[in-house]
Structure 1
Amino acid sequence: MNADERRFEVLRAIVADYVSNHEPVGSKAIVERHNLGVSSATVRNDMAALEEDGYITQPHTSAGRVPTDKGYRLFVDRLSELKPMSPAERRAIQSFLEGAIDLDDVLRRSVRLLAQLTRQVAVIQYPTLTRSTVRHLEVVQITPARLMLVLITDTGRVDQLMVDLGDVITEDATGRIRTMLNATLAGQRMTVAASKVAELPEQAPSELRDVMLRVATTLVESLVEHPEERLVLGGTANLTRNVGDFPGSLRRVLEALEEQVVVLKLLAAAHDPSTVTVHIGGENEAEDLRSTSVVSIGYGGGGTLLGGMGVVGPTRMDYAGTMAAVRAVATYVGNILTGR
């Protein structure tokens, strides 16, 4: 083992002990707990070199050292493989998520599960409509002058919309409207569907034009993004377990998490379902989240990215375990929503 490799092993030992004990780590503890095969003096020299290079630092009140953001970054970059989930954990994830009844339930369960597995705050983005496709549009006549539209997307999203027609129509006319809508929209991306719907009143036979105009107006509003329902958040209480991880800033972290725009920006980097992205401390754009680390990934399937998900926690976290949990849950969510 050369000097660089040995120093990295010392850093790894400091990260492991600090994450599990939340106590600054001294050279004596490293020699006792980790079989590095070198003397205390060598470990002390390595710690001095790591400190000089900015990978560890000494808190004022202690003889031990703690990792810096730069130290965690080196540790994460050198994680050659993620700690695999056990077969029992994978089965538990799968059975818990497969019990979901609809899209909302899948996302709520995912967030609850991820928060439990990582003991951090979990966040998942709703499948963005721009990437969704219309699977079917059902038109139900509630009264002779009122229709209910049920829009179903390939991501399992179901929107119910009421349309007051201002006039009565026959069941036959309702059937013709249903046929026209599905012929135009089924299989179309949401963004394309919105523009096609806007053209429908002009294409409708004259006796259905007024009705189609009302239907189209209601539909276009639904086909455009609903920014207010973009995120599901869970496990914020986990942050309060160790207030010391957020010196003087836990309230600011919680307030930042309530800002949906801030969290959406965190997930914006997660555009690949196969790559876990980690932002550590000062790497986070939002100033109020610079005492946290964000582990995120995209979810989807079959080449389609549906959204991002991940966890937010202190920089002192079990990176290998957290990254593995985020990747595993994302895989199952993607499989369920794309019907694989």
Structure 2
Amino acid sequence: MVSERGLQVLRAIVQDYVDTREPVGSKAIVERHAFGVSAATIRNDMALLEDEELIAAPHTSSGRVPTDKGYRVFVDHLSALRPLSPAQRTAISSFLEGPGDLDDVLVRTVRALTQLTGQVAIVQYPSFARARVTHVELVQLGAGRMLVIVVTDTGRVSQRMTVVGADFDDEDLARMRAELGTLLVGRSVREGVQRIGDHLAQASPAAASRDAAIAVILRVVAEELEEFRQDRLVLAGSATLARREADFRGSIYPLLEAIEEQVTILRLMSEMVADDQGLATSIGRENEPFGLGEASVLASDYDATGSRARVGVLGPTRMDYPTNLAAVRAVARYLTRLLEEDESSR
């Protein structure tokens, strides 16, 4: 059981180690922090923390550094997150404000977060399986090419060009739009995929050119709707890992592989348990089942018009947890508000 002063000593060690990257000794703690006790007393507190495996000596006769367990206790006992500065809040709003579809907003979100924290920033796409298709538009581009646009009630927009093999007059194009609207508009993404499958299964193999074009378009729409249902990530700041390689005890390659493949990070972010503030942390060895035992992940929930997802950062265990958690929470809240305002304006 760690005493209250022991927790304060742990907090001092974490803060100093994050600031200096150097092991922290009892003399430095007495000089930098107003504990009002002797260095000998601090050494006793540090010995107890070492017995609890919360700190460790990286070298003989050196100061101490936090262990993964020590970072966990530090985070669990954070009484408050470090408030963001006005400049940081301005940076968030300047990155996120302005028009744009969901894809654009999420790209701007990770750019803002990696700039604020210096870590790899991650945002999870919300699952839109329950979203409803509100509009399907066809735009002829000539030479048998068609731009297919699908819009859902969550603001998700898909635009994809396909080759339908012929150009159509205005009357045929209007009929095609009407047929697609009857089949899909007002239906959920999940239901739309099912209805397209049923329609294609019943289609005649010797269809007229317009019907053949409809089948091509429907296959494109089905692929786009399936993508709406899939979990995906947007990431930024991967280059920061190379610049901070000294902060990792071992190789950074497992992290780079996880970033490239995304599946591991998706699983980890989905399984992290949030506290009553919607914040979730997974530190060092807690990530070993995912092959990321060298890293910490901090995340916060955001709400995309009823579909919840997460935004967060990934980096070494030696990071500024109070500031990074505050940044993640602030960005998540701003993103939620932005998406709510966009929904109400439609």
Question: Alpha-carbon deviation of 1:337?
Answer: 3.3
Residues 110 and 236 in structure 2, CA contact (< 8 A), matched pair in contact too: yes
**Equivalent residue number for residue 290 of structure 1:** 293
Residues 81 and 326 in structure 2, CA contact (< 8 A), matched pair in contact too: yes
Confirm or deny that 1:214 pairs with 2:200: no
Question: Alpha-carbon deviation of 1:102?
Answer: 3.3
**Equivalent residue number for residue 322 of structure 1:** 324
Change (3 A) 1:148 1:255: closer
Amino acid at match of 2:184: L
Residues 280 and 293 in structure 1, CA contact (< 8 A), matched pair in contact too: yes
Confirm or deny that 1:102 pairs with 2:101: yes
**Equivalent residue number for residue 78 of structure 1:** 77
Larger displacement relative to structure 2 (329-338 or 5-14): 329-338
Larger displacement relative to structure 2 (147-156 or 319-328): 147-156
What SS does the aligned partner of 2:24 have? Answer: coil
Cα distance in 1 between the residues matched to 2:125 and 2:296: 22
Larger displacement relative to structure 2 (233-242 or 7-16): 233-242
Cα distance in 1 between the residues matched to 2:294 and 2:71: 13
**Equivalent residue number for residue 299 of structure 1:** 302
**Equivalent residue number for residue 133 of structure 1:** 132
What SS does the aligned partner of 2:301 have? Answer: strand
Residues 137 and 152 in structure 1, CA contact (< 8 A), matched pair in contact too: yes
Residues 270 and 308 in structure 1, CA contact (< 8 A), matched pair in contact too: no
Cα distance in 1 between the residues matched to 2:61 and 2:236: 35
Cα distance in 2 between the residues matched to 1:166 and 1:154: 31
Amino acid at match of 1:316: R
Cα distance in 2 between the residues matched to 1:243 and 1:50: 27
Larger displacement relative to structure 2 (28-37 or 187-196): 187-196
What SS does the aligned partner of 2:227 have? Answer: coil
**Equivalent residue number for residue 19 of structure 1:** 18
Cα distance in 2 between the residues matched to 1:131 and 1:17: 48
Amino acid at match of 1:35: A
Residues 305 and 339 in structure 2, CA contact (< 8 A), matched pair in contact too: no
State the Cα deviation string for residues 145-196 of structure 1 (Å, max 9, x = none): 5543211234443322345445664422322332343344334331122112
TM-score, normalised via structure 2 length:
0.85
Which structure 1 segments of 5+ residues have no match? Answer: none
Amino acid at match of 2:298: V
Cα distance in 1 between the residues matched to 2:13 and 2:86: 30
Question: Alpha-carbon deviation of 1:316?
Answer: 0.9
Which structure 2 segments of 5+ residues have no match? Answer: none
Residues 249 and 288 in structure 1, CA contact (< 8 A), matched pair in contact too: no
Amino acid at match of 1:222: E
Matched pairs, number: 337
Cα distance in 1 between the residues matched to 2:84 and 2:48: 35
Amino acid at match of 2:279: V
**Equivalent residue number for residue 113 of structure 1:** 112
Question: Alpha-carbon deviation of 1:282?
Answer: 0.4
Cα distance in 1 between the residues matched to 2:231 and 2:76: 34
Confirm or deny that 1:30 pairs with 2:29: yes
State the Cα deviation string for residues 208-233 of structure 1 (Å, max 9, x = none): 65554333233212211279993322
Cα distance in 2 between the residues matched to 1:175 and 1:274: 50
**Equivalent residue number for residue 284 of structure 2:** 281
Cα distance in 2 between the residues matched to 1:41 and 1:197: 75
Cα distance in 2 between the residues matched to 1:238 and 1:218: 37
Confirm or deny that 1:254 pairs with 2:256: yes
Cα distance in 1 between the residues matched to 2:325 and 2:122: 14
What SS does the aligned partner of 1:130 have? Answer: coil
**Equivalent residue number for residue 147 of structure 2:** 148
Residues 128 and 229 in structure 2, CA contact (< 8 A), matched pair in contact too: no
What SS does the aligned partner of 2:79 have? Answer: coil
Share of identical aligned residues, percent? Answer: 47
TM-score, normalised via structure 1 length:
0.86
Change (3 A) 1:302 1:260: closer
Residues 24 and 62 in structure 1, CA contact (< 8 A), matched pair in contact too: no
For the aligned residue pairs, the C-alpha RMSD in angstroms reads: 3.1
Larger displacement relative to structure 2 (165-174 or 3-12): 165-174
Cα distance in 2 between the residues matched to 1:248 and 1:335: 40
What SS does the aligned partner of 2:110 have? Answer: helix
Larger displacement relative to structure 2 (137-146 or 90-99): 137-146
Cα distance in 1 between the residues matched to 2:16 and 2:76: 19
Change (3 A) 1:271 1:192: farther
State the Cα deviation string for residues 299-318 of structure 1 (Å, max 9, x = none): 2244322x332111111111
**Equivalent residue number for residue 40 of structure 2:** 41
**Equivalent residue number for residue 335 of structure 1:** 337
Change (3 A) 1:216 1:302: closer
